[in-house]
Chain A
Amino acid sequence: MRVRGLLALVLSLTLPGCGFAWRALKRNLSAPPERTVAHKIVDPRRPEAKLAALWVGHATVLVQLDDRFVLTDPVFDHTLSQASPRLVEPGLDPARLPPLAAVVVSHMHFDHLSFGSLDWVEQRTPIVLVPPGVRSNMPRYDFEIRELETWASYEHDGLRVTAVPVQHVGGRYALDAAFETRAFTGYVFEYHGLSVYFGGDTAYIPSAFQATRARFPNLSLALLPICPDAPRDFMQYTHESPDQALDAFTLLGAQQMIPIHFDTYINSDDALGACPRELRARMQARGLSDEQVPILAIGEQRVLIAK
């Protein structure tokens, strides 16, 4: 897996890699103004839900497991790394976040780890879980920052969060991808008989999904990235295509899947709407229903299992 990450890094330094970066920069410079979310949810607590998910945008999802809340990769930034403007405003005002049992961060890229956004959750969570190598690259906060090795767990008050294998690339400032070769992960959250998989940002690695299923055979929900897809020869080492996300869903054996990581920031050659459109087409071909794979709009909350 590390070899694939290294390959991705080397590719990014080649002419096609630089060409892709230049196209992404041009698209970002001409990005439309940030779209607002109509009927934004004010109180995300759903007393009638055993399992609910609210897609805040990109990889940020507020997951309700019974009476506990877990927030994934909190990014409420209007501009990423001072270069990439947000296309749609966050689907939840961070001031409206409920008390959180835990926050998980999948890796250090700017679209997944925002130091400013963590200020918003600082007084709302006791702990932020991160992959190995990330803690020494984070500023001080009031919450505990705990690194989890693959298959290691954090347990508190009935909630268990386990780090699970994915394939991506570590680092935050480009060059440190060479040093941070283990700084990415996925997670599984378990509480009151529910289990939720969060893929963060990952390439399609069947062995990782199979290993996760072997340990978590009854996943209620899989949050899986479906974008960026293009250019595929460049993205294949670090990102799943929509079709591969459905393969991952099958390999994980989850009951439902919510696609994430699309149409929030420009970080690829994909046209807006292309990834969910492709996902719908592939779902149809496989006979998957909207019940099994609900494609949420940013700011939309879905009760997946009622009490």
Chain B
Amino acid sequence: MSPAVAVGIWSVAQLIPSPLLVIGKEHVGGGVRWQLTPLLYSFGIAERPVRSFLISPIARHSGSVELHVSPEWACCAPDERSSWLVRAGLRLYLPLLEHGEKLSWSVGASYYRTAGARGDNGGSADLGIFTFHGAFGLNVTVSPWLTRREVITALTIRLF
């Protein structure tokens, strides 16, 4: 199989979004999030610890630190502000069961910027738990200064 076809399959898999539950101080809404990993260092894998974009689940969930970039649309932005934002940050993954394939958890910190000329920015912290070789997980992101979207829970879906 040519590398182009392999990358094409992977790219299509990355388009699957993770649904979000957005919890503001006075409302509840929804959203979607995508995630890319430009760089990951795995300290749990037997070989080739540094990976980029195309990352085997075991490399991530057996123990790793990743630099991630996450575009997302989270509903209910305040008037005249965009519901689109992008996050970039660091996340640490640690294995809990079967080298993280059955169960792993994560903790991370990120910087966000909302879209538009009057974009807001600020910091977030997140905590996650993952199962089914990292294909499914729950990730809670807390952004105290992101108005009306202070707490976002993501049902993370990541196929490879």
Interface residues of A (CB under 8 A from B): 2, 6, 81-82, 114-116, 135-141, 145, 172-176, 178-179, 181
Contact = CB atoms under 8 A, between A and B. Distances in A.
28 contacts: A2-B1, A81-B132, A82-B102, A114-B98, A116-B98, A116-B99, A136-B48, A136-B56, A137-B56, A138-B45, A138-B47, A138-B58, A139-B44, A139-B45, A139-B46, A139-B58, A139-B62, A139-B99, A140-B62, A145-B46, A172-B56, A172-B58, A173-B133, A174-B159, A176-B160, A179-B1, A179-B6, A181-B1
B132 A82 contact: yes
A115 to B, nearest CB: 5
B44 A140 contact: yes
Contacts of B59: 136-137
Interface in B47-62: 47-48, 54, 56-59, 62
Interface in B93-133: 95, 97-102, 131-133
Contacts of A6: 1
Nearest to B3: A179
Contacts of A82: 102, 131-132
Contacts of A173: 56-57, 133, 135, 159-160
Contact of A176 (B44, B45, B56): B56
Contact of B159 (A2, A175, A179): A175
A178 B47 contact: no
Contacts of A174: 159
Interface in B10-67: 10, 13, 44-48, 54, 56-59, 62
Interface of B: 1, 5-6, 9-10, 13, 44-48, 54, 56-59, 62, 95, 97-102, 131-133, 135, 159-160
B5 A135 contact: no
Contacts of B13: 175
A115 B58 contact: yes
Contact of A135 (B44, B46, B54, B135): B46
A82 B13 CA distance: 21
Given A137-B56, A139-B45, 15 more contacts: A82-B102, A115-B98, A115-B101, A116-B102, A136-B46, A136-B47, A136-B59, A139-B44, A139-B46, A140-B45, A172-B56, A175-B160, A176-B56, A178-B10, A179-B1
A135 B56 contact: no
A138 B46 contact: yes
Contacts of B9: 175, 178
B41 to A, nearest CB: 14
Contacts of A2: 1
A155 to B, nearest CB: 22
B10 A175 contact: yes
A292 to B, nearest CB: 39
A175 B159 CA distance: 8
B6 A140 contact: no
Contacts of A115: 58, 98-99, 101
A131 B53 CA distance: 24
Contacts of B101: 115-116
A140 B46 contact: yes
A173 B54 CA distance: 13
